[in-house]
Amino acid sequence: MPIAMVNARAVDGIQAPLVRIETHLANGLPGFQIVGLPEAAVRESRDRVRAAIQTSGFEFPRRRITVNLAPADLPKDGGRFDLGIALGILAASAQVPQSALDPREFLGELGLDGRLRAVGGTLPASLAARDSERQLVLGRDDGPEAALASGADVVIADHLLEVCAALNGKAQLPAAEPPGLQPVSAPDLADVRGQHQARRALEIAAAGGHHLLMIGPPGSGKSMLASRIPGILPPMTEAEALETAAIHSLRGSDHLHHNWRCRPFRSPHHTASGVALVGGGPNPRPGEISLAHNGVLFLDELTEFDRRVLDVLREPLETGVIHISRAARHAQYPARFQLVAAMNPCPQGFDCDLAERCQCSPEQRARHRRRLSAPLIDRIDLAVEVPRLPTTALQPVPGEDEASASVAERVRAAHERQRRRQEGRLNSQLSGRELEVHAPLEPGERVLLERAVDKFRLSARAYHRILRVARSIADLADSETIRADHLAEALGFRALDRWRID
């Protein structure tokens, strides 16, 4: 038949839109043309496909070959369409049956000898093929990643010859196997000495998915505390794990090759650019905030980040998604992460202990704090001071330093209460209208909150964030209502607001 159709998948954010590879053989001078908005790597597939077909022992048609990648307005890049183009030519020249191509989708880059090479980013394609009830055929190295999608029909091959033998009914391709889970031991909270208020803030932040800022001099334990938050968070659901793994699939991250069910913990250096943090580039790719989706983004030395870089976090902190627009491309990536940050209280550093020893002038401290914009500060739910401890407080006290396992159990119970009450969402995701339903205040508590808002000159956004934190504290206490002590504790974690009126 002179026309053949092959199914493949492109990359568009974390989506994998269907691409129909249409191949037409016409009379005339021999030629090979690819249309449908292909980029350079796709156009170069002509030579790879021709060599792979010939070295595999098939006949390459000496006719005018036109390959159309539909839809024509969707950009296509990479070598992922090589296998589909080769099979389209073989089907159009009646060397493989078209009927065997229809229920399948194909991804793979071809070597000149016909071997299949990995293309990466196959998990979104596997999920899309599963939803379309088609089998996905790809190279062996891509198999473990694609097999993460439960219920997907994924088979693997090493060579073009193996794929063609299966299509002609002469052999069967083996099913892909997902990678084995490797146990990952998270750092334990029991290793942290003292810092009871900071430990409590960490537990509240984990219980409601709140953003946390720790303020203290170097060596007070801020980074040590932050690294322990993944150990007290509940494990991801399968849907959350697959969505997070799909993002890491686009970046070829090691997260897929270790325990992909663990919540990610990302800690970029303070020299990171805005593009590295939120994503972008000529062909948009996910950044650190998307790689931290459903996990934790830890920003150490927060005031050392460029202020313009930090301000790009404002939209995703509020919406949970990031929109990346370029002249020719647009992409949207999920970015519902939990921000945990740490900073020094003043530029002096080591001599500062949040008390009378600080030698910085008020102007120096104010300039240091102004490195954080007011809109960014407004989006942080809890701010806690982490002072330097005396040597006596660093000695272990039996029964005083609680282990992560017991804290994680309380956090898990609080998550379950929130998801039952709020249709699967955490307190940090509630809108203002939903707070009126799920976090109502009695008249006495409402007066207390209104006075605090007036004293600290808080915005409406900060008002709602205090309510969300108080709701999480009540959930940890297994209380149906928000009491005055819950609200007072939530107000106690507003160190940045106290700075504002100093």
CATH, residue 38: 3.30.230.10
Interior CA angle at 386 toward 381 and 388, to 5°? 170
Query: Does some domain include residue 279?
Result: yes
Handedness of CA 438, 439, 442, 447 (dihedral sign): negative
> Residue 1 pLDDT > 80, yes or no?
no
Question: What residue type is 23 in one-letter code?
Answer: T
pLDDT tens digits for range 291-318: 999 999 999 999 999 999 999 999 999 8
Query: Does some domain include residue 181?
Result: no
Q: How many helices (H) and strands (E) does the chain have?
A: 22, 18
Residues 258 and 352 in one domain: yes
pLDDT tens digits for range 313-353: 999 998 999 988 876 678 889 999 999 999 988 877 655 65
The number of folded domains in the chain is 2
Examine the fold and report which residue of 117, 134, 167 is the final residue of a domain before the chain moves on: 167
pLDDT of residue 395: 67
Cβ atoms of 404 and 186 closer than 8 Å: yes
- Exposure b/e, 281-309, CB count within 10 A at least 16 = b: eeebbbbbbbbbbbbbbbbbbbbebeeeb
pLDDT tens digits for range 9-37: 998 888 999 999 999 999 988 999 999 98
> What tokens does 470 get?
């108080």
Task: Give the rounded distance of the alpha carbon of 147 from its chain centre.
Answer: 19
Query: Does some domain include residue 365?
Result: yes
Residues 263 and 220 in one domain: yes
Q: What is the CATH number of the domain that holds 342?
A: 3.40.50.300
Q: What are phi and psi of 494, to 5 degrees?
A: -125, 55
Residues 150 and 212 in one domain: no
SS3 of 84-138: the string is HHHHHHHHHCCCCCHHHHCCEEECCEECCCCEEECCCCHHHHHHHHHHCCCEEEE
Examine the fold and report which residue of 135, 167, 199 is the final residue of a domain before the chain moves on: 167
Examine the fold and report which residue of 134, 167, 200 is the final residue of a domain before the chain moves on: 167
| Residue range of the domain that includes 23 | 3-167
| pTM for this prediction | 0.88
Q: What are phi and psi of 65, to 5 degrees?
A: -105, 125
Residues 205 and 279 in one domain: yes
Structure-model confidence comparison of residues 183 and 451, the more confident one: 451
pLDDT tens digits for range 372-400: 888 898 899 999 988 887 776 666 666 66
Residues 275 and 415 in one domain: yes
Query: Does some domain include residue 183?
Result: no
Task: Give the rounded distance of the alpha carbon of 345 from its chain centre.
Answer: 30
Q: What is the DSSP string of 288-347?
A: HHHHTTTSEEEESSGGGS-HHHHHTTHHHHHHSEEEEE-SS-EEEEE---EEEEEE-SST
